[in-house]
Amino acid sequence: MQFSNQIPHLVKEIVEGQGYVVLPDLVTPTEAKTARDLVLQLASQERQTGELVIQQAKERLYGLIYKGEIFRKLVQHPTVLSLIKAILGEDLILGGFSAHILHPQAERMGVHVDYPYWAMRSPYFLYPILEIQVIWLVEDFTEENGAPLFAPGSQKLATKPNLQQFEQTSQKITGKAGSAIISHGLCWHDTSVNSTDTSRVSILGNYTPQYIHPLENHFFAYQAEVIEQASPELKQLLRHSWRSSQNQIFAMKNFCHEL
């Protein structure tokens, strides 16, 4: 498995180092383009139906799991999951999986930490770690097209972002299509301005321990055939394999029932 012998180093970099790593060439440029083209096609359709989430020159497309096989491949990429499991544990779940479109002249999103941290009061606690984010580069991220900004080491502060400090320390993360940025949920970050004349697309994965309420409702627009054909890994990410018509409570995997 690609990067398998680097997992301990990558974990240390995310948790104790700069708070993020960039893994290149996880999927081919062709696969990345397939994902990008499908996002733009779906966004065009949902723009007409009013389903697309629009904020000025930025758009968000949700429910990707049911909208294309390429998305299901990305969300359970073995290298990515191996790294995240080394941080969060084996029983992680998918908090959210969506596409983010920055159209030409899209302004910065705003400096933030990721869910569930932004739904909590600051200062936060460092352990246990509650979220790891994956940003899939489905096209080249450049200095001009809205590549994300990260403040190295800010996850160790465990606080909501200090804007002045962010502006002084943040770095723009560029990379080639097919790469992924994997970051600690507490690491301060933002999008930069898309100053090009082309829309820039990314796909965002939010992974959490099983006891965190998911950011997105994965049963919205549920498609039974997708779940029937899903791998055990994907079923776990969606918590589908933990549902039971026999139990009165929503059980957690490996949860102790002998207390």
Residue 32 lies in a domain: yes
Residue 87 vs residue 222, higher pLDDT: 87
Question: Given a cut of 50, is residue 255 above it in pLDDT?
Answer: no
Question: Given a cut of 90, is residue 117 above it in pLDDT?
Answer: yes
Q: How many domains does the chain divide into?
A: 1
Residue 248 lies in a domain: no
Question: Given a cut of 90, is residue 202 above it in pLDDT?
Answer: yes
Provide mean pLDDT across the span 218-229: 73
pLDDT confidence bin for 249, thresholds 50/70/90: low
Radius of gyration of the chain (CA): 18
Task: Find out whether the peptide bond into 123 is cis, omega within 30 degrees of 0.
Answer: yes
Residue 94 lies in a domain: yes
Residue 254 lies in a domain: no
Residue 251 lies in a domain: no
Question: Given a cut of 60, is residue 230 above it in pLDDT?
Answer: yes
What's the pLDDT at 48?
A: 87
CATH at residue 115: 2.60.120.620
Provide mean pLDDT across the span 153-163: 97
Provide mean pLDDT across the span 90-113: 94
Residue 143 lies in a domain: yes
- Which of 1-15, 31-45, 132-146, 162-176 bottoms out in mean pLDDT, i.e. has the lowest? 1-15
What's the pLDDT at 248?
A: 56
CB within 8 A of 95, min separation 6: which ones? 115, 116, 131, 206, 207, 208, 212, 214, 215, 216
Residue 149 lies in a domain: yes
Question: Given a cut of 60, is residue 5 above it in pLDDT?
Answer: yes
Residue 113 lies in a domain: yes
Question: Given a cut of 50, is residue 258 above it in pLDDT?
Answer: no
Domain that holds residue 168: 4-242
CB within 8 A of 64, min separation 6: which ones? 71, 75, 97, 98, 99, 203
Mean pLDDT for the chain overall:
90
Provide mean pLDDT across the span 229-234: 79
pTM for the structure as a whole: 0.90
Nearest to 15 by CA among 171, 129, 160: 129
pLDDT tens digit sequence for 9-35: 999 999 999 999 999 999 999 999 999
Nearest to 193 by CA among 135, 106, 101, 103: 106
